[in-house]
Structure 1
Amino acid sequence: MGFNFNEIFMIASLKKCVAPILTVLLACTLFFSVAAQDSGPGYRVTAKGVTVIPARQQGGVSEVQLEVITEKIIRVVAKPRQQLPERPTLSVLENLPATPAFQTENSDAVVKLKTASLIAAVDKNSGQVSFTDLNGKTILAEDPAGRQIQPAVFEGQPLYSVTQTFLSQPAEGYYGLGQHQDDLFDYRNQQVKLWQNNTEVAVPFLVSSNRYGILWDNYSLTTAGNLRAYQPLSALQLTAKTGEKGWLTASYANNRNHPDQVALTRAESVIDIPYLNDSKRILPADFKVAEGQVAWEGKISTAMEGMQQLRFTYAGYIKCYIDGQLMLDRWRQAWNPGSGVVDLDWKKDSQHDIRIEWIPDGGESYLTCRWLPPTTAQAPSTFGFSSEAGRQLDYYFVYGSSIDEVIGGYRLLTGKAPIVPRWALGFWQSRERYKTQDEILSTVKTFREKKIPLDNIVLDWSYWKQADWGSQEFDASRFPNPDSMIKVLHQQYKTRFMISVWPKFYEGIKAYEDFRAKGWLYPRNIADRQRDWIAQGYISTFYDAFNPAARQGFWNLIHDKLYTKGVDAWWMDASEPDILSNVDPGRRKDQMVGVHLGTAAEFLNAYPLQNAKGIYEGQRGVDPDKRVFLLTRSGFLGSQRYGATIWSGDIASRWTDMKAQISAGLNFSLSGLPYWTMDIGGFSVEKRFEQPNATDKKEWQELMTRWFQFGAFAPLFRSHGQFPYREIYNTANEGEPAYNSMLYYNKLRYRLLPYIYSLAGEAWLHDKTLMRALVMDFPDDETARQVGDQFLLGPSLLVNPVYTYGATERNVYLPSGGWFELETGKFLTGGQTIKAAAPYERLPLYVRAGSILPTGPALLYSDEKKADPVTLNIYAGADADFTLYEDDGLHYQYEKGAYTTISFHYDEASRTLTIGDRNGSFPEMLKNRIFRIRVTRPDQPKPLVFDDASDRSVRYSGKQQTIKL
């Protein structure tokens, strides 16, 4: 019943004069409470909802609480029998809206809680929770047998593992859950591991195509989606190449150039080399990992029918053939394994040939192959969450009339997304890495001389002396005058400067000793004497971002050493925390023992949130009006409120990896965090591209071009990666197709800044999303729900990246309505899949009929000139609306109302454009301006051009105008 016996004891002590009576009353209360619990279900109405004590306290649950957050958001808490003190909230805001009105209804079977928008019900027998609309139509229901709270112990502290599954609706799609690299979009019947790693971002917020979301409020290692456990390969029926049953034939060749020269063969039924040092233990001693190749061959079968999966993690080159068909072809560098899923729709007892080829990459290598069985026909379709450490089962059901409203509910719970500085929406140049200040300055100088638009130059890691990681001090031999360098960037080249900061400290440097003395460092990696990869290797550890004093100390360090020199933005690398790459979860938790708030197991995934919090609050503490900009390699529930943009980590430079970024970015955006980016060109490069022959150079240029075309329409637009150098002019010469195309899309991005910056304003004002999966705008379209390789940038632009080498066309799905080719103005009817032309220098771009697309002047950097004139490109065929958002672009005065909005409405029937009154003001606003108007109609196509006379031109001083077109 949740009695606090310590409080009862205190009351009795204070009331000694009535102790005998109180004792009797307490005894009776406890007796009848237990008797009521044993004899039947009970419930109570609270100020915020209801609490139900189920008759069958199954799954370790003693009570179920429903808390009304808003009329469309309900918090569900299932408490264990032995309750633990509540943990501090890290993701969900403490100051949520006042509880709205609700009603309760009790019957023999259920307790119902009704708000103005939905009904939540708790089964009084089982404790199952379900949600319906006001007409009784089911939105979501828990699996009646899908809740488990089981005791667990970590670092000697009692906790619980918690699991909740839900029943799926037919054809329902699931999205979000952060950013992952399996190239999966709809997670129905898929499994997602939520654990922060380089390229993998754990955000336990799932969005359904049925317009609801689930925020799983847990920070520990979590499995989401299909909770059935992956099995080792040995769980299948295996047959060797020579016909023996029970294993595959593994052939090891010590010369990858002659794989037919087999050095040894083994019978192997498991392929499982997942983490650091495993290859040394598992691979044959006589196998030359750095030079060799392995092949597993034979047959596989299962008595289970239906869709099943093989899931690989890999480093090096991996190919998987089923029945002679190439199903998987990937590469990843050795220190950062990738992952891939092969879907197999098999008949019962069917047998299939399999061949897996693996070329390791270096001495430390990784490869796993696991099998996920199909769901049995008798089992209901479910999805769920299962976390290894928590104090109670805790989630938020978020309902909406649209997916945008659902994401708005997520941000109400976890925080608004501040508007990024306008310069951040321009182009950023980076590489791994600029080694001197002369390289930084000469790069920016070349951009300006060649008139390639640029807003931000990025200095990656190792600007410090080799042995001084964590000092945050420039190596004076390579950066003799960093203050002057930044001043030149700002004043002469009008360019912003971003710098990489890691939460990492080398043993023995002054900052390490200061942090160690105050107890701010994780000590285990030091105790293990674990060396990193620099030169002979250095011993290091990370600071404890869960400690408020340590966060402040880290900010003070980068403030004094870097911010005072004029740094504009922060690149927060390795924020998982990646104390040691590619270790198993147990090793990561060992490395984090000593977390200020409790156990590492309980708080594992929230490190990037707290790391970002320290820098965001630190900068706003000393410079409260300058917008904070953070680029961080990992994020969590609520990261958006700290001005964080997440990038997809050290992805590989391959066509398959480029394609995977589309679905990765879309699911990340559907997780509620609006700002995402990637390394254009991929970070890690195959050796064949480092010193390419003519054939490989041709492919590299095309890969960079296609990736650049895609990147120009991502929320943030940045090029970065290992050698070859990533500057446009280092990729191709002026006049070559690659150069021409990249320059074209760079300039187009700047022309679109009035549109894109308005999207950023909408993300803050109305919780909108910039990079939009088609399911967001077409949730009832079954085809659109499955499209994960196209997206809308804002409401109007349909972007269709080309991710196949040599392709000159691609399939494009046009949802219902009408669509115009952006470049030609040609009109196409929606509701169909087309073969879209995609010549080398262009990607297929379409504008939705019923759109107003504002474009601005040509720019070399974002604030080179005011957005005047603005061309209002009207794409007719339907009514259209757009709101132009503007502010000063650099400060937080918009939080106090210092911004303007101008609404535009095009009426198709009357062919009129209404420019609304200007709302709001800010000191730098344009009081008088020019709007040019161009109308493209289905029967009057117009190519996209700039700076022409347009159809009409109007002067605007802030008052409403209606223009007949």
Structure 2
Amino acid sequence: MKSRTITASLLTAMLLASCAAGRYEKSERGITVNIAAETENSVRKVRLQVIDDKIIRVSATPDKKFSSDTSLVVIPPRANVEYTIAETDSTVSLSTSQLTATVSFSTGDVKFYNKDGRLIVAEADGGREFSPIEVEGTKGYTVRQVFESLDKEEGIYGLGQHQSDEFNYKGKNEELFQYNTKVSVPFIVSTDNYGILWDSYSLCRFGNPEPYKQLGQVFKLYDKDGKEGALTGTYVPAKAEEPTIVQREDSIYFEHLIRKELKHVVNLPQDFNYQGSHVTYEGEIEPSESGEFKFILYYSGYMSVFIDGKEVVPERWRTAWNPNSYKFSVNLEAGKRVPVKIQWEPNGAVAYCGLRVYSPVDDKEQMQMSWWGEMQSQIDYYFIYGEDMDDVIHGYRTLTGKAPMMAKWVMGYWQSREKYNTSDEVLSTFAEFRRRGIPIDNIVIDWLHWKQDSWGSHEFDPERFPDPKGMVDSIHNMNGRVMISVWPKFYVTTEHYKEFDKNGWMYQLPVKDSIRDWVGPGYLSSFYDAYSPDARKLFWKQIEDHYVPVGMDAWWMDASEPNIRDCTDLQYRKDLITPTALGPSTKYFNAYGLMNADAIYNGQRGINDNRVFLLTRSGFAGQQRYSTATWSGDIATRWEDMKAQISAGLNFAASGIPWWSMDIGGFCVEDRFVAAAAEFDKTGRETPDMKEWRELNTRWYQFGAFAPMFRAHGQWPYREIFNIAPENHPAYKSVVYYTNLRYDLMPYIYSLAAKTHFDDYTIMRPMVMDFTADKATRNIGDQYMFGPSLLVAPVYTYGATSREVYFPEGADWYDFYTGKEINGGQTLKVAAPYERIPLFVRSGSIIPFGPAMQWSAEKPADMINLYVYAGEDGKFVLYEDENTNYNYEKGQYAMIPFSWNDETSTLTIGKRAGQYPGMLRNRKFNIIKVSEKTPVGYGRDKKGVVVAYNGEAKNVKL
């Protein structure tokens, strides 16, 4: 088979022959391959476009030409990249210096190879599907693209942040839509050092392209009396005088409110009081085939599931107004009837539950990577290759935008609660932190700081907040910052609503269907259309006019999914926000949070030089470019929810968006904890539930101290540590210790923030990112690296005083508190006393610790305790700038490089590079070496070798 290579500069001479054959043609930045379509909806054109040496865009369409849609996610590439084209009888290939993509002339399937010719990943034969769809007069396609599974041991991570406590998505299924606690990002990164950005804004599915099915669609159902066709539902009310309801249920699908009534749950008995009730669904299921059945449980209140006599879902809880989903699998045998039982305590006046299932899928098919999109103009994805997983994320941010430098105070401690109802509460709370000497940088003013009937006015209630600017000035005078809650929601009576509405920038159906919220008597409202550039400008203008003069420092963008109404089906959620300025919401459903963040970021950048900070409940690909952090939503105050945040945060980080936070302690509180706090306030007695509440918060604060953002928030009981436990309590002591440690680590954390901006680094790191070759790390989602040096192992079990930790191969490890060395490549049960989180340091680490501080910029770090952990060579770069402005974009910053030579036991402090106004020109380093022979635990007052430094390089023998 003859092959010929054509350089881009010589392409013109050969192009006519190929064009005459009609097989491919040169297009912008690459080639377009023409495919003989087998059917009307088969692929006709496949286009490869070179973005850079390691990134290739793939587009495919059954139409005669490609869509002219502009990507909402991808920033247009700036420079052309050299590439070559090679043709055989059956394929055409496009090659850069690092990557080759080959297209089959007969099928249009694409394969990707590295520069050495190794196949990285390939589209599956016949794995591309198009089905026409038309919504609101706009035509498009429901699409699917399948990739072959070349490596069964591959690890796949990303997809945003989900709550089922899944980590490695190889062979898994995930629906990608936005909802409170669920943040969907259509990007994955693989241990085979590639990533795929699926450029779609609609409902998507990773894995199985079908929706989950009702039990009766997959199994024969039998009630508890053995009668075929349904399970038995028994509804026992809290009050004995009320009747028990027993009825047959052909499905367990009580997940959504009736659309327009918005008060009844579809399929549940309506004349029944669910508060305090007990509900049981029981009977038998009989599968028609053998294999692994994958279930998804939708639950509110307390719920457990038993199949074949085994508790497959131990008790879980969620508040009634914000249900959660949880996935589990069970192997079943064809024709064998097994008992099933669901025990449910709804724990609310309104109740939701559901149990749906996927039938077994052939293992080869399940292990393939599949992307499905509900409505797109065409198939569009970006293939990204890298030297390692960090390099892949670098490619992702090359496409979607770099993460700006966050202000230094963002990395300090944030205090919040639902909610501070008066300015006195705000000021007294912040002042109490200062009085007690507990470090803090920020306090948050949550929703309903406005008059009850004025959501969207951006005006403070003058009775509760008589002097908003004076309040904010007072916080500033205490060296703090203030973040304000700003929703894209407006009551119809507000002037701001009317200003949007007259321009056609408010969604109309919420008003037409009279959707009223939960405040007071219930007020009528809607959300603005963030897909309109002019509407975004108006949104910012209203904020600029009302909140900027008050002096607000940061913006809390709540409900940015957008969440117009909880607990409705997806179709109605789409109906509530359509049409958008760009087209039907079916096509643009998932990108609202990205558009909304654009409004604030670009708005503030236009008026001052203060670094923008947004905290948003939803996120999407590219959101990092708007200086945005995302938090994990209104999660529950349960141990299993705390554990789920670890894998959720790690996958969000692997999705390329580095700034993430969670409500430390959980947002939605179990009744028993509320009662325990009330009992303690009344009597001072620590009940068993109060004891657990304190331990839960302690463990969560310990975990939160090593998240990109360190932030407590939630419903009552109050979340300030002095309201959780008294000073002599181990909970109080531990939380204060880790808050102080967070500030001690500020030089390390701020330097990592700079590395995140300049080098596209990831701060909160799955173990697999740094130890990809160690396959034991591929399914470890409950411990992680915080930067290059710290291994963090949160404790998420009540009463636990130890836990297992895996220490990867390729490094040795030191106990942070004792300095004792641990060899890599083993799993150990380590001590985890109440007041301590297991924390370890990688050999070769260089960690700068700053002075004790009450806020992030209280004093210059003129003495840095520099801990050097021997055992291998190491490097670190200390970064410093002005902390709050954008002068770093002009090159005004300084870096001090450190390198450790383990063989010669020499630390080199390099020459300082760069400068900025107010830079500390002279300082001291207190250098403390930790080794197997000289174990040293961390302490502020440990003595080492003190070295004066004036910016010139020097070597220090240790």
TM-score normalised by length of structure 2: 0.94
Following superposition, the deviation at residue 350 of structure 1 comes to 5.0
Aligned-partner Cα distance in 1 for 2:942–2:794:
29
Taking only aligned residues, the RMSD between alpha carbons, in angstroms, comes to 1.9
CA distance in 2, matches of 1:911, 1:637: 44
Structure 2 counterpart of 1:167, from 139, 148, 163: 148
Q: Does the aligned pair in 2 maintain the 1:189–1:226 contact within 8 Å?
A: no
Give the corresponding residue for 2:12: none
CA distance in 2, matches of 1:105, 1:240: 64
The match for 2:212 among 230, 235, 240 is: 230
- Cα deviation digits, residues 916-960 of structure 1 (max 9, x gap): 11011101211111111001102221121113322x011111111
Q: Structure 1 pair 387/443, CA: closer, same or farther in 2 (3 Å)?
A: same
Q: 1:870 aligns with which of 861, 864, 869?
A: 864
What is the identity, as a one-letter code, of the residue corresponding to 1:395?
Y
1:56–1:125 CA contact under 8 A, matched in 2: no
Q: Distance in 2 between matches of 1:668 and 1:477?
A: 41
SS in 2 for 1:761: helix
Identify the match of residue 597 of structure 1 among 582, 585, 599. Answer: 582
Of 718, 735, 752 in structure 2, the residue corresponding to residue 725 of structure 1 is 718
CA distance in structure 2 between the aligned counterparts of 1:47 and 1:619, rounded to whole angstroms: 35
- Which whole-Å deviations, capped at 9, do the CAs of 1:463-490 have from their partners, x for residues lacking one? 0000000000000000001111111110
Aligned counterparts of 2:718 and 2:712: Cα–Cα separation in 1: 10
> What letter is aligned with 1:252?
Y
Q: Does 1:643 align with 2:636?
A: no
CA distance in structure 2 between the partners assigned to 1:267 and 1:316 by the alignment? 22
How does 1:512-661 map onto structure 2 within 5 Å? Answer: 512-623=497-608, 625-661=609-645
| Of 394, 412, 437, the match for 1:408 | 394
Contact 1:232 1:370 in 2 (8 A): yes
The match for 2:179 among 156, 173, 197 is 197
For structure 2, list consecutive stretches of 5 or more residues without a partner in the other structure: 1-15, 680-686
User: Where does 1:730-809 land on structure 2 (aligned, <5 Å)?
Assistant: 730-809=723-802
| Cα distance in 2 between the residues matched to 1:291 and 1:909 | 68
1:207 maps to what in 2?
189
**2:438 alignment partner, one of 449, 452, 469:** 452
Residues 350, 797 of structure 1: CA spacing in aligned structure 2 closer, same or farther, 3 A cutoff?
farther
Letter in 1 for 2:404: P
Q: Note if contact 2:170-2:367 (Cα within 8 Å) is conserved in structure 1.
A: no
Cα distance in structure 1, aligned partners of 2:32 and 2:285: 51
Matched, 1:677 2:670: no
In the TM superposition, residue 308 of structure 1 has moved relative to its aligned partner by 2.6
Work out the CA distance in 2 between the residues paired with 1:845 and 1:779: 21
Asked if the contact 1:226/1:384 (under 8 Å) is kept, the reply is: yes
Distance 2:884 2:533 in 1: 28
SS in 2 for 1:920: coil
Tell me which of 689, 711, 716 is aligned to 2:704. Answer: 711
The reply on whether 1:502 has 2:487 as its aligned counterpart is yes
- SS of corresponding position for 1:861: coil
Pairing of 1:52-131 with structure 2 (within 5 A): 52-57=33-38, 59-81=41-63, 83=65, 85-94=67-76, 96-131=77-112
Contact 1:463 1:475 in 2 (8 A): yes
Q: Is the 8 A contact 1:675 1:716 kept in 2?
A: yes
Specify which of 226, 242, 251 is matched with residue 225 of structure 2.
242
The aligned amino acid for 1:888 is E
Q: Note the C-alpha offset of 1:507.
A: 0.8
Cα offset, 1:351, TM superposition:
4.6
Q: 1:933 aligns with which of 904, 927, 934?
A: 927
| Aligned equivalents of 1:579, 1:476: Cα separation in 2 | 27
CA distance in 2, matches of 1:902, 1:638: 30
Match of 1:488 in 2: 474
Letter in 2 for 1:270: S
- Decide whether the 8 Å contact of 1:276 with 1:364 is kept in 2: no
Greater CA drift, 351-360 or 924-933: 351-360
Question: Residue 83 of structure 1 contacts residue 391 of structure 1 at CA under 8 Å; is this kept in 2?
Answer: no
- Distance in 2 (alpha carbons) for counterparts of 1:68 and 1:89: 16
Q: Post-superposition shift, 1:823? A: 0.5
Task: Tell me the distance in 2 between the aligned counterparts of 1:257 and 1:358.
Answer: 18
Correspondences of 1:897-912 after superposition (within 5 Å): 897-912=891-906
Within 2, Cα distance between the matches of 1:930 and 1:304?
71
Tell whether 2:884 aligns with 1:890: yes
Paired AA for residue 643 in structure 2: K
Q: Does 1:316 align with 2:301?
A: yes
Equivalences, count: 924
User: Is 1:148–2:98 an aligned residue pair?
Assistant: no
SS in 2 for 1:375: coil
The change in CA–CA distance for 1:856 and 1:456 in structure 2 (over 3 A counts) is same
Deviation of 1:151 after TM superposition, in Å, equals 1.2
Change (3 A) 1:870 1:345: farther
Identify unmatched segments of 5+ residues in structure 1: 1-32
C-alpha displacement of 1:257: 9.4
SS, match of residue 100 in structure 1:
coil
Letter in 2 for 1:850: G
- Cα shift at 1:504: 0.6
- Residues 668, 734 of structure 1: alpha-carbon distance in 2 compared, 3 angstrom cutoff: same
User: 1:826-845 alignment to 2 at 5 Å?
Assistant: 826-845=820-839
Whole-angstrom distance in 2 between the partners of 1:421 and 1:225? 39
Deviates more, 1:282-291 or 1:396-405: 282-291
Residues 1:368 and 2:354 are matched in the alignment: yes
Bigger shift: residues 674-683 or 290-299: 290-299
Q: SS at the partner of 2:774?
A: coil
Structure 1 letter corresponding to 2:191: S
Q: Separation in 1 of the partners of 2:65 and 2:140? A: 9
Provide the rounded CA distance (Å) in 1 between the counterparts of 2:240 and 2:107: 62
Shift of 1:146: 1.3
Q: CA deviation at 1:160?
A: 1.5
Distance 2:302 2:881 in 1: 49
CA–CA separation in structure 2 for the residues paired with 1:123 and 1:412? 28
Cα 1:933–1:350 shift into 2, 3 Å: farther
1:274 maps to 255
> Is 2:954 the counterpart of 1:961?
yes
- Cα displacement string for residues 256-280 of structure 1 (whole angstroms, at most 9, x for unaligned residues): 899xx98232222310112223854
Structure 1 residue 318, shift from structure 2 partner: 1.0
Q: Distance in 1 between matches of 2:710 and 2:520?
A: 33
* 1:764-822: CA deviation from partner (whole Å, max 9, x where unpaired): 01000000001111112222010001110001100001001111111111111211110
Q: How is 1:328-347 mapped onto 2 (pairs within 5 angstroms)? A: 328=313, 329-347=315-333
Percent identity between matched residues is 47
Q: Which AA in structure 1 matches 2:281? A: W
The counterpart of 2:913, out of the listed 896, 906, 919, is 919
CA distance in 2, matches of 1:897, 1:584: 50
- Distance in 1 separating the partners of 2:857 and 2:512: 50
SS at match of 2:940: coil
Range with greater deviation from structure 2 (181-190 or 740-749): 181-190
Distance in structure 2 (CA, Å) of the matches to 1:406 and 1:345:
36
Moved more, 228-237 or 568-577: 228-237
2:128 is equivalent to residue 135 of structure 1: no
Matched, 1:183 2:165: yes
Contact 2:254 2:265 in 1 (8 A): no
User: Counterparts of 2:185 and 2:214 in 1: how far apart (Å)?
Assistant: 27
Distance 2:546 2:662 in 1: 28
SS in structure 2 opposite 1:783? helix
Q: Is the 8 A contact 1:503 1:575 kept in 2?
A: yes
